[in-house]
Structure 1
Amino acid sequence: MRKAFVIVTILALVAFALQFIFAAVGAFTKPAGDDAYALHSVNGMAVIPVLTLFTILFAVLAKAPGRIVGLAALPLGLVVLQVLLAGLANGLTDTAGASTPFGLTIAGLHALNGIIAVHVVVGVHQAARRLANPAPAEAAPVAVREGEPA
């Protein structure tokens, strides 16, 4: 199960990296229609949450310490926050439907939260690797009696 935990964290990292690429695809699509962010939306609303749930599941099945299980659950909360930030940013427009400075600030927080989520997933992956491949135990110190050569 510990190897599966590592593998699912790699898949999550790939999905998060793709999320940034899909956001750029949406931002640079001309003309920008409602479907410009389709890949970003599907990945963020389906793929990433499922992989995050699998990460939590495999952390528990790998008998990871509670701190690591909690760290594995954190991206799920950050994904929920992402959805809230995106919805709020999209809703904060003026009467003509144009972006407002406050809405753009919230959109910036959406991007910042995505960066934070990636860093958390990197930490989960590192913890999963350490759990799967623990460092070799250090040699126990040898007692030397006084007067004997070391």
Structure 2
Amino acid sequence: MRKAFVIVSLLSLVTFALQFVFAAVGAFTKPAGDDAFTLHSFTGMAVIPVLTLLTILFAVLAKAPGRLVGLAVLPLGLVVVQVLLAGLANGATDAAGASTPFGLTIAGLHALNGIVAVHVVVAVHQAARKLANPAESA
């Protein structure tokens, strides 16, 4: 189970990192239609939550320490925050539908929260590797 924990945490890390690529694709798509962020949205709303749940499951099955299981749960909460920030940023427009300074600030927090999430997933993966190979950390 510990090897599975390492593998699923690595898949999660790769997927979180790809989210930045998918966000850039959406941001730089010209003309930017409603579907510019489809890949970013789908990955964030479906793939990442599933991988996060699998990471939590394998952390428990690998008999990881409680602190590591808690760390594995944290990205799920950060994903919820991401969704809330994205919705708030998208909803903070003026009467013409243009972005407002408040909305852009919230969008910046969305990006910052994504960076925090990646750091947490890196920590989970590193801890999973140490758990699976204790001789490496000695």
**TM-score calculated relative to the size of structure 1:** 0.90
Distance in 2, matches of 1:29 and 1:118, equals: 24
Residue 60 of structure 1: aligned partner: 60
5 Å-filtered alignment, 1:105-144, equals 105-135=105-135
Residue 14 of structure 1: aligned partner: 14
The structure with higher relative contact order (CA 8 Å, sep 6+) is 2
After TM superposition, give the deviation of residue 26 of structure 1 in Å: 0.2
Give the root-mean-square deviation of aligned CA atoms. 1.3
Distance in 1, matches of 2:82 and 2:114, equals: 7
Distance in 2, matches of 1:2 and 1:135, equals: 14
Q: Which runs of 5+ in 2 are unaligned?
A: none
Residue 26 of structure 1: aligned partner: 26
**TM-score calculated relative to the size of structure 2:** 0.98
**Cα distance, 1:93–1:135 mapped onto 2, change above 3 Å:** same
Tell whether 2:51 aligns with 1:51: yes
Q: Is the 8 A contact 2:130 2:137 kept in 1?
A: no
Distance in 2, matches of 1:112 and 1:71, equals: 18
Aligned pair count?
Answer: 138
**Cα distance, 1:50–1:137 mapped onto 2, change above 3 Å:** closer
Max radius of gyration: which structure? Answer: 1
Corresponding letter in the other structure for 1:29: T
Corresponding letter in the other structure for 1:20: F
After TM superposition, give the deviation of residue 46 of structure 1 in Å: 0.3
Q: Which runs of 5+ in 1 are unaligned?
A: 139-150
- Percentage of identical aligned residues: 85
